[in-house]
Amino acid sequence: MIIGYARVSTTDQNLDLQLDALQKEGCEGVYSEKMSGRNLDRPELTQCLKALRKGDTLIVWRLDRLGRSIHDLINTIQMLGERGVNFKSITEAIDTNTITGKLMFHIIASLAEFERSLIRERVNAGLAAARARGRVGGRKRKMSKSDTKKAVAMLTDPTITKVEVAAHFGVSRPTLDSALNKLGDMGDLCRPGSSGEPAPK
């Protein structure tokens, strides 16, 4: 059985071009929807994939009608292949039921894997360079333990507020509060009444 899938991104766009092309390909059934390809919830596509059986062929007008990204597209086509379902894209002339079509798909998949490898290499190289300069991965702490102790000492002055202390260290008031709480008992020194701190501003 030949099944077609058509999609446009907005309700203002027209499906006629895709539907006509799919009809010419002999589709016995067509699932269509007006929805962004970035949307994870595409109910018509979900129903379409469920309806496909071994020996069936799924046809789309263009590759980007099926996948949200090249990786999503490849995963979908590979899943179909594992189920014994053929795939055909009209515009790109890819047909996994032919030797040439299978070759084209494998080339696309290889290029996508090559791209992922390059990204991984760039990330690893960046991390290695950062480590060589004495920096480590992960999020940098906004306030060190030493800075927090200094903040506690500053807050023993009743004329200094937490807002001023936070500004001194270049952090937000919530960040300062969090650092003081993590410091434990020393943070008690910062409570109004123990340090004479004015009411929070």
What is residue 6's predicted lDDT score, i.e. its pLDDT?
95
Q: How far apart are CA 159 and CA 52, in angstroms?
A: 74
Return the pLDDT at 124: 74
| Rama region for 134: left / alpha / beta (φ>0; ψ in -120 to 50; rest) | left
Is residue 109's pLDDT more than 90?
no
Confidence category of residue 28, pLDDT binned at 50, 70, 90: very high
Q: Name the amino acid, one letter, at 164.
A: E
3-state secondary structure the chain: CEEEEEEECCCCCCCHHHHHHHHHCCCCEEEEEECCCCCCCCHHHHHHHHHCCCCCEEEECCHHHCCCCHHHHHHHHHHHHHCCCEEEECCCCEECCCHHHHHHHHHHHHHHHHHHHHHHHHHHHHHHHHHHCCCCCCCCCCCCHHHHHHHHHHHCCCCCCHHHHHHHHCCCHHHHHHHHHHCHHHHHHHCCCCCCCCCCC
Asked if pLDDT for residue 186 goes beyond 80, the answer is no
Catalytic (active site) residue 9: yes
Does the structure show a pLDDT above 50 at 197? no
Name which of 11-15, 19-23, 109-113, 164-168 the model is least confident about.
Answer: 109-113
What average pLDDT does range 98-126 have in this prediction? 75
Residue 9: per-residue pLDDT? 84
28: tokens are 């016995």
- pLDDT value at residue 134: 65
Q: Give mean pLDDT, residues 165-185.
A: 83
Task: Read off the pLDDT of residues 132-171 as tens digits, 9 standing for 90 and up.
Answer: 776 555 555 578 888 888 888 888 877 788 888 888 888 8
pTM of the model: 0.54
Query: What does CATH list as the number for 2-110?
Result: 3.40.50.1390
Question: Do residues 77 and 96 touch, judged by C-beta distance below 8 A?
Answer: yes
Q: Which of 9, 32, 69, 194 is catalytic?
A: 9
pLDDT number for residue 116: 66
> Nearest Cα to 10, choosing from 30, 41, 37, 42?
37
Write out the two tokens for 132: 């060589």
